[in-house]
Chains A and B, each alone.
Chain A
């Protein structure tokens, strides 16, 4: 049985009793990857040599000061910069880009004694929700290899679900941690905007992006968020808000908790089977002492249009930096400076990225700026106010993470509006800047269903408390896909 399906606490016990070494844990991760990733295709790059060297150094280090994540393997989404290891954003534009510094979140997982084993696949520049938009490979869902893992952090979710690594970092701009976590049956947290430094996260939409942990269990997720949170002078939008010990919140006691269920989240467009699993989950939470009330988030139906306008506008500005001059792809055929810009960008970016840059440019143009970009920022205020008024009377909001379970690879038509409509459950959380988690809450035709728990700004501790209480009362997190069975 692989070590990669054990929890942090179980692995620490084994390490502490010297039943395994950090090197053996690390080797086990690479063994799992070698056995499974040919099918799952979660990793874009492996850093085996560096990882094993670090593991040996950790084995020889002092016992003093070892934390709960010491010596444990982690995979990093490929839009988070890693010094000396290519960071491609799954784009031809950055195929050969080797960063000269580490993202703050990467520094923090290193400081916690974690061992990074490699970089994880994603939709190009995090633009997509299936990981099919990667310029390099399509990641497969470990529960059913014919299905997508979700996206854009599809590699991060699939690697954890398959048992290749117990931890990964993803990023969430409009649901990109939570939706793949739901599709792959793992735990994914989108922290409050500002909770985790964005320094070293390749920017997609700066007012929405957050790095978040993906794990098998709620406790492991809390431990990883503990490690990566906190103010950072390299990101002036990171918050000086105190970081509580998220693990301390996992008491199992949710008596008296007031849960709001927005009627829009169990409405039209959500698969019946998904609704059934969510309703059953609410019963579980009720049996643990929570009360449930129906609420409305009246501006939900505009969330997707608001999100696409703001996210593409910010992306068109952020992605202007890729000009073929200082780093990244430079077209061979360009003869002058203007041609370097035009051809490098046109050859380096994929269709989805170009589409979003184009619409963002349109939304920011002098003729349309007021009616689109500024209008969207005003609707964003209304969406945030909807949440605030619910939180006047309730502690958390609960609903599905995604309208459906994982779709078949290639099965989602190029009909972008259908895909976009799916986002309604997740994007409003990013627009409001609040935290939300996805945890496994059932299966439909053998594919996992995700339960989303949304909280107030900086109230991740309460979200974890609720998620953990639910997890302890159910056994969905204990099920693993058959692809990982029989390895080791």
Chain B
């Protein structure tokens, strides 16, 4: 089986915007190795000339009239925001 190492945990965590201590990375490397082995079972299936199924229903070009609907109230939405000012969401200085 493909071993998912602690280094792999740190490497993929970076894409997922997660962070793990070295100790946690060891634990997750075991857990995810099991999943990798589990997913590898698919390799034995013959899928030549089989189309991937992206969606359970065949529906195309679902359109509606281009008019604004269900516009949410900004003040209500800002009530969930930790820090905001003048209707804008505040984050730490990024420059």
Contacts and interface: CB of A to CB of B under 8 A. Distances in A.
B55 A354 contact: no
A34 to B, nearest CB: 30
Contact of B28 (A234, A330, A354, A457): A354
Interface string B63-95: 010000110110011011110000001011110
Interface in B6-53: 8-9, 12-13, 15-20, 28, 31-32, 34-36, 38-39, 41-43, 45, 47, 50-53
Nearest to A381: B53
A240 B72 CA distance: 25
Nearest to A384: B53
Which one of B9, B28, B42 has the highest number of Cβ atoms from chain A below 10 Å of its Cβ? B42
Nearest to B35: A359
Contacts of B94: 336-337
A207 B51 contact: no
Q: What does DSSP make chain B's interface, helix, strand, loop or mixed?
A: loop
Given A194-B56, A342-B18, A346-B18, A378 B47 contact: yes
Contacts of B1: none
A180 to B, nearest CB: 22
B42 A375 contact: yes
B50 A355 contact: no
Interface string A330-354: 1000111100111101100100001
Which one of B53, B69, B92 has the highest number of Cβ atoms from chain A below 10 Å of its Cβ? B53
A350 B63 CA distance: 38
Given A101-B72, A334-B92, A193 B56 contact: yes
A46 to B, nearest CB: 21
B51 to A, nearest CB: 6
Interface string A444-476: 000000000000010000000000000000000
Contacts of A416: 31, 34-35
A315 to B, nearest CB: 11
B18 A358 contact: yes
A207 B56 CA distance: 7
Given A326-B89, A354-B18, A382 B55 contact: no
Contact of B15 (A327, A343, A365): A365
B70 to A, nearest CB: 7
Nearest to A210: B56
A339 B31 CA distance: 25
A374 B50 CA distance: 11
B74 to A, nearest CB: 10
B70 A308 contact: no
A302 B93 CA distance: 48
Given A346-B18, A358-B32, A359-B39, A207 B54 contact: yes
Contacts of A292: none
Interface of B: 4, 8-9, 12-13, 15-20, 28, 31-32, 34-36, 38-39, 41-43, 45, 47, 50-57, 59, 62, 64, 69-70, 72-73, 76-77, 79-82, 89, 91-94
15 contacts: A101-B70, A101-B72, A305-B39, A308-B39, A345-B16, A345-B17, A354-B28, A363-B39, A378-B51, A378-B53, A380-B53, A381-B50, A416-B31, A420-B38, A433-B56
CB-based closest 7 A-B pairs: A433-B56, A377-B52, A378-B47, A236-B62, A327-B80, A193-B56, A381-B53
